[in-house]
C-alpha cells in the first residue's frame, strides 16, 4: 500500500540541449511517458550547488529520476542505461525488440558498440585537454581521434548498406537509432573530417531518424538547430 505505482512516480530528466540527454529524451517521448524536463547548465550549476552532485557524482548530463530521490526514488545516470530502462518500463513501445529475440541481442550489440567506441572516442575528441598534461599534445590527440571516428562512422555506413531501414535489421526504429542519431549529431557538430551526413547510406538514415516524430519533438523542445 505504501508504495506509489511506477506510473504515478514523477519522472524527471536533467538535460542540456544536444548533449547525452538527447537520446533518453527521444526515448521518453517515443514511449509516451509523461516527464518533466529540467534544464541543467553544468557550467553554471556545478559551482552553485552540491544538489546535482548528490544525484550524479560525476556531474554529467543526463540524470534521470523517478519519484523523490530523498525518499528512495530511482536515480539513474548513463544515457544508455536510461534509454534501456525507459524501454523496459514501456514494453508496449518498440524502443527495444522483444526480450530474448535475436533482434534484441543485436540491439544490445549496437548499443554497447556505440557507447564503448563512438561515444568514448567523441568524448576524447571533444575533451582532448583532459587526456594530456601537455597542451601541445592536443592537436595530435584530436587528429588521431578524428581518424578513428571516421573509421567507426564508415563501419556504421557499411552495416546499414545491406538495405535495412533501421540499425537492427528487420526491427522497428528504436533506442539504438535515437542513440546513433545523437552521437552522429555530435560528430557533425564537431566537424570531424568524415562528416556523417556525407556518407552515402548513413547520411540518409540519419535524416530518416531525425524525421521521426519523437526526434523532431525533442529537438524542438531542446531548442537547437537540427544537425541533419
Ligand atoms: N557516459 C556518460 C557521459 C555523460 C557526459 O559526459 N555528458 C556530457 C554532456 S554530453 C557532460 O555532462 N559533460 C560535462 C563535463 O564533462 O564536464 C553518459 O553516457 O551519460
Q: Where are the domains of the chain?
A: 6-89, 102-212
Query: DSSP alpha helices (H): ranges in 116-222?
Result: 120-126, 138-160, 175-189, 202-210, 213-222
- What the block records as the C-alpha cell of 17 is 540541449
Question: Rounded distance, CA 150 to CA 118, Å?
Answer: 10
> Does position 216 have pLDDT exceeding 80, yes or no?
yes
Question: Rounded distance, CA 175 to CA 159, Å?
Answer: 17
Question: Rounded distance, CA 62 to CA 78, Å?
Answer: 7
Q: Residue 60 has what pLDDT? A: 93
Say yes or no: CB of residue 20 within 6 Å of ligand 1.
Answer: yes
Say yes or no: CB of residue 79 within 6 Å of ligand 1.
Answer: yes
Q: Confidence class of residue 29 from pLDDT cuts 50, 70 and 90? A: very high
Q: Once rounded to an integer, what is the mean pLDDT over residues 16-42? A: 96
Q: Residue 99 has what pLDDT? A: 95
User: Is CATH 3.40.30.10 the classification given to domain 6-89?
Assistant: yes
> Does position 1 have pLDDT exceeding 70, yes or no?
no
Taking only the tens place, the pLDDT of each residue in 84-134 is: 999 999 999 999 999 999 999 999 999 999 999 999 999 999 999 999 999
Cβ-contact 128, 144 below 8 angstroms:
no
pTM for this predicted structure: 0.95
As a whole number of Å, the CA-based R_g of the chain is 18
Taking only the tens place, the pLDDT of each residue in 154-163 is: 999 999 999 9
Q: Residue 8 has what pLDDT? A: 73
> Does position 49 have pLDDT exceeding 80, yes or no?
no
For ligand 1, atom 2, the nearest C-alpha belongs to 78
**Burial of 106: CB neighbours in 10 Å, binned 0-12, 13-18, 19+:** middle
Closest CA relative to residue 17, chosen from 190, 221, 184: 221
Task: Indicate the top mutation candidate among 58, 60, 122 to test ligand 1's pocket, ranked by most ligand atoms within 8 A of CB.
Answer: 60
Torsion (CA) 61, 19, 120, 56 in degrees, nearest 10: 0
> Does position 6 have pLDDT exceeding 60, yes or no?
no
User: Is CATH 1.20.1050.10 the classification given to domain 102-212?
Assistant: yes
Q: Residue 46 has what pLDDT? A: 62
Taking only the tens place, the pLDDT of each residue in 165-194 is: 999 999 999 999 999 999 999 999 999 999
Distance 60 CA to ligand 1 centre (A): 4
> Does position 5 have pLDDT exceeding 70, yes or no?
no
Question: Rounded distance, CA 51 to CA 58, Å?
Answer: 12
The mean predicted confidence, pLDDT, of the chain is 94
Say yes or no: CB of residue 82 within 6 Å of ligand 1.
Answer: no
Q: Confidence class of residue 33 from pLDDT cuts 50, 70 and 90? A: very high
Residue 59 has what DSSP assignment? -
Q: Range with the lowest mean pLDDT among 39-48, 150-159, 182-191, 206-215?
A: 39-48
Closest CA relative to residue 160, chosen from 102, 109, 199: 199
> Does position 214 have pLDDT exceeding 80, yes or no?
yes
Amino acid at each position: 500500500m505504501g508504495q506509489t505505482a511506477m506510473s504515478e512516480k514523477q519522472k524527471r530528466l536533467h538535460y542540456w540541449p544536444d548533449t547525452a540527454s538527447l537520446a533518453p529524451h527521444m526515448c521518453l517521448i517515443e514511449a509516451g511517458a509523461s516527464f518533466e524536463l529540467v534544464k541543467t547548465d553544468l557550467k553554471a550549476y556545478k559551482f552553485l550547488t552540491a544538489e546535482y552532485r548528490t544525484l550524479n557524482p560525476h556531474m554529467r548530463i543526463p540524470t534521470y529520476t523517478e519519484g523523490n530521490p530523498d525518499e528512495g526514488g530511482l536515480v539513474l545516470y548513463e544515457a544508455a542505461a536510461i534509454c534501456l530502462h525507459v524501454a523496459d518500463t514501456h514494453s508496449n513501445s518498440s524502443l527495444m525488440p522483444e526480450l530474448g529475440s535475436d533482434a534484441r541481442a543485436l540491439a544490445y550489440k549496437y548499443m554497447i558498440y556505440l557507447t564503448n567506441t563512438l561515444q568514448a572516442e567523441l568524448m576524447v575528441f571533444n575533451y582532448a585537454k583532459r587526456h594530456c598534461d601537455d597542451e601541445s599534445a592536443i592537436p595530435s590527440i584530436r587528429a588521431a581521434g578524428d581518424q578513428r571516428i571516421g573509421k567507426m562512422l564508415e563501419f556504421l555506413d557499411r552495416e546499414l548498406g545491406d538495405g535495412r531501414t533501421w540499425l537492427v535489421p528487420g526491427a522497428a526504429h528504436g533506442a539504438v537509432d535515437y542513440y546513433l542519431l545523437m552521437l552522429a549529431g555530435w560528430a557533425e557538430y564537431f566537424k570531424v573530417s568524415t562528416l556523417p551526413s556525407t556518407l552515402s547510406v548513413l547520411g540518409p538514415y540519419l535524416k530518416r531518424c531525425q524525421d521521426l516524430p519523437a526526434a523532431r519533438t525533442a529537438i524542438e523542445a531542446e531548442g537547437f538547430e537540427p544537425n541533419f
